[in-house]
Structure 1
């Protein structure tokens, strides 16, 4: 039974990852999707995340690394990433 639960959990994670736009999963290396975590993304809406990425990309927001990361994505890619994060975030 335990093995079945582990396999099903892995399939659910893989299914989520398969639908992620390019770049979205790399965000979770530093940012948790949990709203209560350190450097959380789960506390923000897709609009807020997309606006922050635009600010980093355009140099309107100070950063140590996010400005360089954000410049690697077009506005459309940033929006897709923001929507995916908002849809998969733990808001509780």
Structure 2
């Protein structure tokens, strides 16, 4: 019985990973949560930094630094902790591709 449960758990986790990989809009959907502060598609119209067109590695490092607490922030340290590193990579790549 324990083996069946373990196998079912592994299958469920694998299926969840496939669902993320198959969603062509996942990066855009994750990045949409940034629009309130950083503007639609990362094009800020206010006092926040624009993210559109910035180098992927630079964006990813900033988000990872917020997540780890290495970079101080008023709110980004809390927001970034809500994402996996893989999701942050998708977000960084999405904004880097925006012009």
Instruction: Name the TM tier (shorter chain).
Output: 0.5 to 0.7
Distance 1:69 1:35 in 2: 18
1:57 alignment partner, one of 44, 67, 75: 67
Name which one, 1 or 2, has greater alpha-carbon Rg: 2
Aligned length: 72
1:19 alignment partner, one of 21, 25, 43: 25
Unaligned runs of 5+ in 1: 1-17
- For residues 35-78 of structure 1, the C-alpha deviation after alignment (integer angstroms, 9 at most, x for no partner) is 78642112521111110010000000010000000001111110
Unaligned runs of 5+ in 2: 1-23
Pair 1:34 & 2:43 matched: yes
Answer 1 or 2: which has greater helix percent: 2
The root-mean-square deviation of aligned C-alpha atoms, in Å, is 2.1
Give the number of the structure with larger relative contact order, counting CA–CA contacts within 8 Å between residues 6 or more apart.
Answer: 1
Q: TM-score under structure 1 normalisation?
A: 0.67
